[in-house]
A and B are shown apart, each in its own frame.
Chain A
Amino acid sequence: MDAAISLTVDGEGYRLTVDTRTTLLDALRDRLGNISPKKGCDHGQCGACTVLLDGRRVLACLVLAATVGGAEVTTASGLAEGDTPHPVQRAFLDHDAFQCGYCTPGQVCSAVGMLDEVAAGWPSHATTDLTAEPRLSQAEISERMAGNLCRCAAYVNIVPAIEQAAGEVR
């Protein structure tokens, strides 16, 4: 069964008709040719498909495209300003925060969304005082990024990359 939706993806507007079973991930990759978000598990377990949906990090593999008509989607390939990478992307390059790169677009989108959550004062499981403004320690970064798995185990470089970016974003 079909549904007609409009989506803004990385600043560009699209109208498309999707089968109601289509996930946002499949709509982006197969219908709009945006292969930046990756399909790691397709079951919400790895984070490779992370995109920003109306500014928030979500897993595109568990979103039915037909439920988010009118939404604004940002993928890792829409984060740069022209030729200038986003500070999080720059930091991943500076710190060599990847090996094969498969998880990287999801890691980057997740980090961007996560830094916004920290800026808005959201606590995490690693936050001892729930009522205080969170401070972004390494333990906080690891916990907040726990939904993004890296098969190459680049975590030791991802955490410092995000620390660098945290100092620059805001």
Chain B
Amino acid sequence: MKPFTLATPTDADEAVRLVADDPDAAFLGGGTNLVDHLKLGVATPGALVDITRATSAEITDLPDGGPRVGAAVRNGDFTADRRARERYPLIVQSVLAGASGQLRNMATIGGNPLQRTRCVYFQDVTTPCNKREPGSGCGAHGGYTRYHAILGASEHCIATHPSDLAVALAAVDATVRVLGADGERTIPFTDLHRLPGDAPERDTTLAHGELITAIDLPALPMARRSLYRKVRDRASYAFALVSVAAAIELDGDRISDVRIALGGVAHKPWRAHRAEAVLRGARPLEETFETAAAAELADARPLDGVDGGNGFKTTLAARTIVAALRDLTEGARS
């Protein structure tokens, strides 16, 4: 492991300054992803700036009635929060579906959406990877692609984003509060992550030295009727093959509003706008759910691979969308 300095500022401006002024510096949250990458040689910073004292570890109420979740709130503490459990089942379930109890006690709300892909070629420094080493090629093409993308990929990178929390935050239209050297700005959560295009080394739209200080959740009363459904290779402690975060609002026999985002299928949490458009105003019928899922996956491009590829994901994603909608409208359908 390359040597690095470690700073533990208690002030967010100081944390930003320390990273913004040093191209070789990185923020350290709970360390559950970054410390692993230091060991693997995937990340080689010369300076680490611990942000767990520099950002808030509190959940506070915003004037509009939504909560503000400080970046240093641990994933476990978020799932324990009674308001979150009552008002945002999909978000709490997404966190509970990820990692393990120990890891959730360490991981932060700011660090979780910024965890990097689990693409095995990205994690193995002996193989080419455009994300780790721009221009070196993509080791995953034609390799093991079971965990890779079916939507929005490019020839340069076919990786998926591994965070469960990020999928739920995309579904509810959360807002990311960011502090940079030039001051504060907010980013709609759905604009935080990027598609790979020809620059897969950039996972997000954050600039070097920009610190996530908090995530704001919208009041969104419909989120009470919501869920997170994750399909994986074993029942627990595994990343998603496919996941769905969904919330629905019914008005009489019609769907008045709906939010859907998919995980495990793309380089970013995939907000299912096309499926939502089919469902809004429609009756909550199984056939309509299927039409909506098919619309969302019309552009899916499955990959070949030595493991048989990931063609199964298109069907699996469609079925998972339908199952999630069925669960959410149970009792409302006749």
On chain A, the number of residues with a Cβ less than 8 Å from chain B's Cβ atoms is: 40
Of the candidates A21, A117, A130, A142, which one forms a contact with B1 in the assembled complex, judged by CB atoms under 8 Å apart? Answer: A21
Among residues of A, the one whose C-beta sits closest to the C-beta of B97 is A125
A52 to chain B, nearest CB (A): 10
Tell me the A136-164 residues at the B interface (CB within 8 Å): 142-148
Interface membership of A40, Cβ < 8 A: no
Interface membership of A58, Cβ < 8 A: yes
Bound together, the chains give a CA A56 to CA B92 distance in angstroms of: 19
B232 to chain A, nearest CB (A): 11
Interface membership of A20, Cβ < 8 A: yes
Residues of B within 8 A of A113 (CB): 101-102, 105
Q: Are B80 and A122 in contact, with the CB atoms below 8 A?
A: yes
Q: Are A143 and B48 in contact, with the CB atoms below 8 A?
A: no
Bound together, the chains give a CA A50 to CA B237 distance in angstroms of: 16
Residues of A within 8 A of B102 (CB): 47, 50, 57-59, 110, 113, 147
Among residues of A, the one whose C-beta sits closest to the C-beta of B238 is A146
B128 to chain A, nearest CB (A): 22
Of the candidates A20, A58, A117, A147, which one forms a contact with B6 in the assembled complex, judged by CB atoms under 8 Å apart? Answer: A20
B147 to chain A, nearest CB (A): 16
Interface membership of B253, Cβ < 8 A: no
Bound together, the chains give a CA A44 to CA B236 distance in angstroms of: 15
Q: Are B92 and A20 in contact, with the CB atoms below 8 A?
A: no
Residues of A within 8 A of B4 (CB): 1, 20-21
Residues of B within 8 A of A11 (CB): none
- Interface segment out of the listed A28-36, A63-71, A96-104: A63-71
Residues of B within 8 A of A143 (CB): 235-236
Bound together, the chains give a CA A120 to CA B8 distance in angstroms of: 30
Q: Are A23 and B86 in contact, with the CB atoms below 8 A?
A: no
Bound together, the chains give a CA A47 to CA B35 distance in angstroms of: 16
Residues of B within 8 A of A117 (CB): 76, 80, 101
Bound together, the chains give a CA A56 to CA B36 distance in angstroms of: 20
Q: Are A124 and B96 in contact, with the CB atoms below 8 A?
A: yes
* 11 pairs of residues in contact across A and B, judged by CB atoms under 8 Å: A20-B48, A43-B40, A44-B103, A57-B102, A59-B102, A117-B80, A122-B79, A122-B80, A130-B89, A131-B85, A147-B102
Q: Identify the B interface with A (CB < 8 A).
A: 1, 3-6, 8, 28, 31-32, 35-36, 38-40, 48, 50, 52, 76, 79-80, 82, 85-86, 89, 92-93, 96-97, 99-103, 105-106, 235-237
Question: Which 7 A/B pairs are nearest by Cβ-Cβ distance?
Answer: A147-B100, A146-B236, A146-B237, A130-B85, A125-B96, A20-B6, A122-B80
